[in-house]
Amino acid sequence: MKVELLAYTPNPDYVVAMSAKLCYSKTGVDNIRDNLDDEKVQKFISHLTSIGHQSPIEHVSFTFAIEGISRVCTHQLVRHRIASYSQQSQRYVKLEQFEYIIPPQIAENEKAREIFIKAMEDDQKAYDKIVDELIEGNVKYFIEEGYTEKQAKSMAEKKSIEDARYVFPNACETKIVVTMNARTLMNFFEHRICERAQWEIKEMAYLMLEEVKKTAPNLFKNAGPSCISRNKCKEGAMSCRHPEIPKTRMEEMDRKIKDKL
């Protein structure tokens, strides 16, 4: 799995602080930047966090490029609706040899891994055979529609893989570009870094959080599941009862970032 922060609002902590300053002081637009040093930036952001005023953090956004994840993961990801997504298309990209994600517990079980890999290989063979079966008829159709042979072959392949892709499994590897504003990211981290989150999207969320903490340390200082951000688990009877797990990993993350600075 690879997560790369492609772009973000410049000086995100500063932008959020300016927005907060406008809300809570008599300052006007001309003076919004005046005397806004690092200490005051941190103070404004801490104030927003303490009172739950989240609209100012919507003014900054972050764009990630993510690869090495499964369709299982992206099906969960796109449920976070206040975001923008651009995903590699199986309709237009022919997968000559598709990559796939093996869940850890399957990878660690020799027999389960063997069954899993065979299923993936069978899916690829089925995909290739279906494409071959469909192309000839589709070429004929497009030629009859008046296209040149070259055009017909190109269009036929696209039409064939459009339906052949249905045999691919949820494990199929995919790539996606994601843009979220900071408020959406906070909500995403609260749900997906929780120990109850599915393992793959949880790992992706940790990697995304590590990236944004490098650029907006004040803003994402307390980001994470409610046991960290609010010192109280909101899962009720469904609690994992192990808040030390995300806490330890977050501390390790902060040390890692600090060491690189």
Please give the radius of gyration of the chain, using alpha carbons only, rounded to the nearest integer.
24
What is the largest distance, in Å, between two alpha-carbon atoms of the chain?
A: 72
Cα atoms in the Cβ-side hemisphere of radius 13 Å centred on 173: 15
CA angle at 120 for the pair 75 and 110, rounded to the nearest 5°: 105
Q: Within a 10 A sphere around the Cβ of 258, how many other Cβ atoms?
A: 9
Return d(Cα 197, Cα 201) in angstroms, integer.
7
Q: Does the annotation count 249 as an active-site position? A: no
- Active-site pick, 192, 230, 249, 255: 192
Q: Which residues of 14-30 are buried (b: 16+ CB within 10 A; e: fewer)?
A: bbbbbbbbeeeeeeeee
185, 189, 190, 193 alpha-carbon torsion, rounded to 10°: 170
Three-class SS state of 35: coil
Tokens of 186: 């906070």
Shortest CA distance to 164 belongs to which of 93, 219, 61, 256? 93
Shortest CA distance to 193 belongs to which of 137, 125, 253? 253
Catalytic residues: 192
